[in-house]
Structure 1
Amino acid sequence: MEMERAMRQGMTPMFVAVGPAVVGLLAVADTIKPHAREAVQALKALGLDVVMLTGDNARSAAAVAKEVGIERVLSDVLPDLKAREVTLLQESGRRVAMVGDGINDAPALAQADVGIAIGAGTDVAMDTADMTLIGEDLRGIVTAIALSRATMANVKQNLFAAFIYNILLIPAAALGSLNPILAAGAMALSSVSVVSNALRLRRFTPPVAASR
């Protein structure tokens, strides 16, 4: 009875025995990180599918997933099979970002398109990952993804601006219909516009603010 209750609450029950007799029951559970639910909801708002990949038993994993708002759970996954689960997602056409903090997560972090380690995690995880969050606030994942999207959009805008100047003005200069002084000014204006557009990233505001 107590064991069932513990498992429904996301805990892992362990029996205590003295000789052949069972004398007690311990229930242990990982503490859900603060702001985990907020981070999950923000990731969904960015259009991302959030999947829990864990070695915990199905009941414990389902209880935690329900509390933080994750619908898809892959439980009872052995450490050496986590990377395989990431590979299966990639083979289905997904680009996968893996978030982990333990030694067991290292192979999956390496296999993922982007590996994200928690700053308070193990050295192995941080060495394997592509990036490491400062601290344990999971909202930092949201900030990282949103900032990367804003940066890529900015890069594309800058490339467009640089190309449009050249496409429009190089033919005019080659045909002699553009004064050299004006051509030099246009080139300077191109550089200024690209730099000014890039500086807009300094005003980037994350969807959810992570604590520092």
Structure 2
Amino acid sequence: SVAAYFVPAVLVISIITAVVWFIFGPEPAFSFALVNAVAVLIIACPCALGLATPMAIMVGTGKGANVGVLVKDAAALESMEKITTLIVDKTGTLTVGKPQLASVQSLGTSTEDEILSLAAALEKISEHPLAEAVVKGALEKKLTIAQVSDFESVTGMGVRGKVNGKDVAVGNRKLLEKFNIDPGQLPTLAAELQKTGHGVMLVAVDGIAAGIVAVRDPIKESAKEALKYFRDHNIDVVMVTGDNRITADAVAKELGITEVEADVLPQRKNEIVRKYQALGKIVAMAGDGINDAPALAQASVGIAMGTGTDVAMESASVTLVKGDLLGIVRAHRLSQLTMKNIRQNLFFAFVYNGLGVPVAAGVLYPYFGILLSPMIASLAMSLSSVSVIVNSLRLSRAKI
């Protein structure tokens, strides 16, 4: 866009230079007019301007790859510097993404091992993020995981099916209420665990509340350090999770996050991104799952965790190899340094042309008798390009 105005302006200056020298210049006027017009064109050759941005982008993306930040879309480097809001998915971004079985509690006649075994049978078929933790916990206790029949998955609520002839339901309170099962004391027990950041599944057997299974996804060690960086740079962090409000608030409180979107169904993440964009925010979205893909594509900068799904990485403009929040910090620093480098390059190019073009046009000749030879102009033009390249290469040594 700069060259679109710069090139015509230089052509006009060159023509004016030729005309002025031809009319008012000493003899041979035509020779002076031709030489000075050519000198203007040579010294103003926009090589430095043309190199200012692509050189910085090339070096910046290379530096990013070295520190685990893979930039697919160069425009993301520009947008990343300007973000005002960062939306992060809790599981796999703020937390390790590998929940672990924490506890099992029984209310009725079923033992804790029986409840865990029945829950694991259903969760083995389920696609819920916490399912693997339940199955793994049952296997570690060497429990038998039976076959399931009449399996049914209810989006946003849980699963149900028949296990060893028993009608078993595993999920949240909404699931039990959907099938007219009195949850009894289960919600109270669940609320206590949720206050400490546990994910809790209610278990009902043959229409009777039987117990709860609690799992916990450990918070990544790097999360608190990264969140402090964003607060220091006035970037609002919004945590988005499918967990209930109590669990989400517990995790957010531990991390110092004030904005939380809880009980979020997969299709709502895209709506949340649009909501903040409608408020005038420049939004970056970080996620790792298939259901994050639309939101990653909608955000000004989509950031996928390298440990996530291929669909998420394909939808994002930036991929983090290590998949933690410090990677987002590095991406933001990289954007800042790259854009600063581009501005420096453009400054060098404009200052060079601002000083060189008048000299080439001969403004110093009436006072000092100085004219700029086209050969000297070509050397100066080359040096300006070299200065931009050298300045861009400094990015490769920057600490991110």
Does the alignment reach a TM-score above 0.5?
yes
1:182 corresponds to which letter in structure 2? I
Counterpart for residue 316 of structure 2: 129
Counterpart for residue 97 of structure 1: 284
1:36 aligns with 2:223: yes
Give CA deviations for 1:36-59 in whole Å, capped at 9, x if unaligned. 111111122233111112222111
Q: Which runs of 5+ in 1 are unaligned?
A: 207-212
Query: Is the contact made by 1:54 and 1:74 (CA closer than 8 Å) also made in structure 2?
Result: yes
Alignment of 1:79-94 (within 5 A): 79-94=266-281
1:186 aligns with 2:380: yes
Equivalent pairs, count: 206
1:14 aligns with 2:201: yes
Alignment of 1:50-89 (within 5 A): 50-89=237-276
Within 2, Cα distance between the matches of 1:48 and 1:25?
Answer: 38
Counterpart for residue 210 of structure 1: none
1:5 aligns with 2:192: yes
Query: Is the contact made by 1:34 and 1:137 (CA closer than 8 Å) also made in structure 2?
Result: no
Counterpart for residue 148 of structure 1: 335
* 1:59 counterpart SS class: helix
Report how far residue 152 of structure 1 moved.
Answer: 0.9
Length-normalised TM-score, structure 1:
0.90
Within 1, Cα distance between the matches of 2:394 and 2:270?
Answer: 38
Report how far residue 180 of structure 1 moved.
Answer: 3.3
Give CA deviations for 1:96-144 in whole Å, capped at 9, x if unaligned. 0000011121111111000000011111111111111002232011001
* 1:24 counterpart SS class: strand
Report how far residue 26 of structure 1 moved.
Answer: 0.6
Find the partner of 1:163 among 350, 355, 358: 350
Query: Is the contact made by 2:191 and 2:246 (CA closer than 8 Å) also made in structure 1?
Result: no
The structure with higher relative contact order (CA 8 Å, sep 6+) is 2
Length-normalised TM-score, structure 2:
0.49
- Rg bigger for which structure? 2
1:202 corresponds to which letter in structure 2? S
Report how far residue 196 of structure 1 moved.
Answer: 1.6
1:117 aligns with 2:313: no
Counterpart for residue 26 of structure 1: 213
2:388 corresponds to which letter in structure 1? V
2:332 corresponds to which letter in structure 1? I
Q: Which runs of 5+ in 2 are unaligned?
A: 1-187, 366-370
Within 2, Cα distance between the matches of 1:199 and 1:61?
Answer: 44
* 1:26 counterpart SS class: strand
Query: Is the contact made by 1:54 and 1:77 (CA closer than 8 Å) also made in structure 2?
Result: yes
Which region of structure 1 is more displaced relative to structure 2, 185-194 or 13-22? 13-22
* 1:79 counterpart SS class: coil
Give CA deviations for 1:130-187 in whole Å, capped at 9, x if unaligned. 1110022320110011101110111111011112111211222122722334323322
Q: 4+ runs of 1 displaced by more than 6 Å?
A: none
Within 2, Cα distance between the matches of 1:179 and 1:72?
Answer: 64
